[in-house]
Amino acid sequence: MPMRFTELESRYALEVLNHGFRTSTNSGMIRRFEEAFARKFGSRFAISFANGTATMHAALASAGVGPGHEVIVPPLTMAATCICVVHAGAVPVFADVDPDTWTLDPRSVAVRISPRTKAIIPVALYGLSADMDPLMELARKHGLFVLDDDAQCFLGYYKGRVVGSTAHASSFSFQATKHMTCGEGGAVTTDDPELAEKIRKMASLGYGSIRAAAGSSLVKREDIQDPGYLRHFSIGWNYRLSELCCAVLLGQLERLEELVQIRLDSAKALAEAVAGCRWLVPQKVPTGNVHAYWTFACRLSEDAPCTWHEFRIKYLESGGDPFYGAWAMNYLEPVFRGKRFGDHQTQAFEPGLCPVAESLQSSLLQFKTNYFDPSRRANAAEAMRRTIAHFSKG
C-alpha cells in the first residue's frame, strides 16, 4: 500500500541530522532539492521558502510591486492569494472566473486592467491550470508581471507544458494537505536569473552575496569573518526553508509521480461515480490540459434535487468522508469586506463584484483525493453512487 512518507524521506532527514546543522559547511540538501525541483517543473531556478504565502509576497516585491500598484486576482481561492498583495503594499483587484473551469477568466481580467495594474496572479484551482496563453498575452500587451499560484497543482499540464513553467514566476505550497509536503513550506520557480536572484535575496534578509542559483555565492568564509564585511544591501525577510524540510521534500519529489497518481486514481473513481448525473457537475478540464486533482470538485446545478448541506449529510450517512465547501469570496471575508487598501482603490469589496464566482461558491463540493488506502477510495466512490441514487429517485 502506498505511504505518505517512506524510508527515503527518513534517510535524507537523517543525513541532515548526522551533519549537525553546521552553518559553515551545510549538508547541501537545500541545493539538491531546489535543483531537482527546478528540473522537474521545467524551470532554470527554484527557490525554497518557509511557506506558500511568503513565496508570493517575495515574488511580487522582487517584481517591483508596491504601494500605488494594483494586482489582479481571482476571488474564488484560498485568501493567501490576495493577502500577499496587501503584504506587498499593493491593492488586490478581483476579476471573475470562468463558469465551467472556475479559474480566472481572461475576459474579466482584460476589463480590470488600469494604468496602476502591475501584476496578475492566476490560480491553478483544485489542480487545474488557468487559461495561461491569453493571460500571458494580456501581460505582454500591458507590460505586466504574471505570478502563477500553483499551490494546488503538482504535475498538472497546460497545453503540453508542465504547470509552473508558463508564467514569469510560479508559486508552490508544501503545506500538509498538498501533493508533496514537509509539513509547511513553499517554492518559487522562474527562468529569469535576475528575478531569481532578487527573490532569493528577498527570502534571505537581503544578503548581498546571494546569487540566483542554489548554493552559489561569490564570498569566501574569511571575508564573512572579517569585522569590516558588509552583509545587507537590500531589505528582505527571513523566509528561508530549513535543510531538514528540504530533505523530506527531496524524498517526496523523487516519489512525486506516485503521490500524484494516488490523487488521479481517486479522482477517476469519483468521476466514474458521478458520470451520468445531470445535477452534479465536475470541474471542466479543457482539451489539452491535465488536472492534478488536489481535490475532486463538483457543483450542484441550479435544479439539483438537494441543497449543499443535504447532500453532505446523506454522503456521510452513506459512508463518505467529510468534505469542504469552497472558500468564501475573498472580498467578502471580514478582513476585506467594506475595507479600503489604498486611496486609489476603485472596487468596493461588497457582494456583486464577481457574479459568476459568487453564483458558484455556495454550490461547490470539494471531495478529498489523498486516499493512500485503495479501500477507502472505493468506499468514497460507493458513497457517491448511493448519495446520487438517493436524490435521483423519481
Catalytic site positions: 178
DSSP 8-state assignment for residue 244 = H
DSSP per residue over 96-155, as a string? -B-TTT-SB-HHHHHHH--TTEEEE--B-BTTB---HHHHHHHHHHHT-EEEEE-TT-SS
Grid cell listed for 268 = 477517476
3-state helix, strand, coil in the chain (%, to 5): 35, 15, 45
Residue among 325, 261, 269 nearest 291 (CA): 261
- Beta-carbon neighbour count of residue 287 at 10 Å? 5
Instruction: Find out whether 156 and 127 touch, Cβ atoms under 8 Å.
Output: yes
DSSP, collapsed to helix, strand or coil, labels residue 382 as: helix
The C-alpha atoms of residue 361 and residue 297 are separated, in whole angstroms, by 11
Number of other CB atoms surrounding residue 221 within 10 Å: 10
- For the sheet with 289-290, list strands across it: 161-162, 157-158, 289-290
Closest C-alpha to 119, from 87, 156, 72: 72
CA 292, CA 109: separation in Å to the nearest integer? 24
Residue 390: CB atoms within 10 A of its CB come to 16
CA distance 51 to 42: 21
φ, ψ of residue 156 in degrees (nearest 5): -80, 165
Q: List all residues 6 or more positions away from 191 whose beta carbon is below 8 Å from its beta carbon.
A: 43, 44, 45, 165
